[in-house]
Amino acid sequence: MPVDTAEEIEEILEYETIAVVGCSSTPGKAAHDVPEYLLERGYDVLPVNPYADEIFDREVYDSLDDVEEAIDVVCIFRPSEEVSGIVDAALEREDVEVIWTQQGIRDDEAASRAEDDGRRVVQDRCMKVEHRRLAA
């Protein structure tokens, strides 16, 4: 079952490195403003977007495969129909502890695969909202 208790979400919010798949360079979009908020709160945000070179004065990776740093959490800002492939890429990495799909995004089958592989999954929740609610 995906994570849904405040205690589990608080634990997840203690991780430091978040790869944001679908991170946007456009202020005003949730896929820009949420990772910016996390960056401002001390998280190491790794933008993943094949159509951008730099976001938040940081290098942008084309895919999870291109990220050399260890990743704790993969935060997904892509349509639900793209989640499965992103989860597969995350599962190829041994360092990813958590897969988090933002509000309005979910794929129950991909979530089950991730959980079966020992990863924690948060679906259909905004990291910024949860951080403000539990950690701020």
The closest alpha carbon to 45, from 61, 62, 28, belongs to 61
pLDDT tens figures, 113-127: 999 999 999 999 999
Full-model pTM: 0.96
In the chain, the percentage of residues whose pLDDT exceeds 70 is 99
Residue 22 is predicted with a pLDDT of: 98
Residue 2 is predicted with a pLDDT of: 85
**Which DSSP helix (H) or strand (E) runs through 81?**
helix 80-91
Q: DSSP label at 136? A: -
Domain regions of the chain by residue span: 6-134
CB 71 within 8 A of CB 93: yes
CATH number listed for the domain at residues 6-134: 3.40.50.720
Q: Which residues contact 131 (CB under 8 A, 6 or more apart)?
A: 13, 37, 38, 41
Residue 4 is predicted with a pLDDT of: 86
